[in-house]
Structures are given as structure tokens and as C-alpha cells.
């Protein structure tokens, strides 16, 4: 079975990319147990708990990332550098995940033979 990595690189409400990526992770988890989810660059904004997308007529889907654990997706990684560069403390994120250095995150990402970017 392929090891599948889902990489979130974009902010949450400029496009449907994040929402579609989340849907893809949840759907794939039914077929594959070896899934990794990575938040890099502006993708860390996907996890902010106090978003107000209704102001731009968007849907607040960030709490749905909390389902990852329920769907047995336990390998969730966040770039420490991306958080620091954006001034986002880990306490403001809507889920608990492993915050890793860029080097360690890329090392773990190299273990996946399929990588999907959102």
C-alpha cells in the first residue's frame, strides 16, 4: 500500500484548496492507514482556532481537522519555522500535532511515496 502525505501550504479562505484537502484526507483514511498530514508555510493558518470566515462568506471548516484523530490519522506535523515566521503560537491551533523543525519535517515527508499538495 502506498504511503500518502497530504501537504497543506495555502491559507484557508482564499480558495477551496484547504477544504478539499481535508475532505481528501478523511476519504483516504477509509482506504489507507499510512497517511501523514503536513502543515507548511501559510498552511499553518488552516489550523487557527479563532477564524471568522463568515466575514468573507466562507464556511468555518477548521474544527473539522479535529476529526483526524477520530479517523485514526495520527501522523500530523506542523512546521515550527512556519509558526514562528507568522507569529502563531502553537496554543492558537485547533488541534494537537507534532511541531517539528523544517529539517525533521522534511525527513519525515521523505518517507512518503505519494505527496498531494493543497
List residues bridging with 78 in a β-sheet.
Answer: 39, 99
The whole-chain average pLDDT of the chain stands at 91
**What was the pLDDT predicted at 86?**
97
Mean pLDDT (whole number) for 35-59: 82
- Among 26-30, 57-61, 84-88, 109-113, the minimum mean pLDDT is found in 57-61
**What was the pLDDT predicted at 58?**
63
Q: Kindly list the structural domains of the chain, giving each domain's residue range(s) and its CATH number in brackets, ordered by start.
A: 4-117 (3.40.1260.10)
Indicate the pLDDT class of residue 115, thresholds 50, 70 and 90: very high
Cα–Cα distance measured from residue 84 to residue 15, given in angstroms and rounded to the nearest whole number: 24
Residue 60 has pLDDT above 60, yes or no: yes
- Alpha carbon 80 to chain centroid, angstroms: 13
Residue 57 has pLDDT above 70, yes or no: no
Amino acid at each position: 500500500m502506498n504511503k500518502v502525505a497530504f501537504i497543506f501550504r495555502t491559507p484557508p479562505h482564499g480558495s477551496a484548496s484547504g477544504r478539499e484537502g481535508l475532505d481528501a484526507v478523511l476519504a483516504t483514511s477509509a482506504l489507507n492507514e499510512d497517511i501523514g498530514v503536513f502543515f507548511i508555510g501559510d498552511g499553518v493558518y488552516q489550523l487557527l482556532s479563532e477564524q471568522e470566515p463568515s466575514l468573507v462568506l466562507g464556511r468555518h471548516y477548521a474544527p473539522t481537522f479535529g476529526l483526524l484523530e477520530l479517523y485514526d490519522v495520527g501522523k500530523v506535523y506542523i512546521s515550527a519555522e512556519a509558526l514562528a515566521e507568522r507569529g502563531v503560537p502553537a496554543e492558537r491551533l485547533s488541534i494537537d500535532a507534532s511541531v517539528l523543525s523544517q529539517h525533521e519535517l522534511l525527513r519525515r515527508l521523505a518517507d512518503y511515496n505519494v505527496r498531494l499538495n493543497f
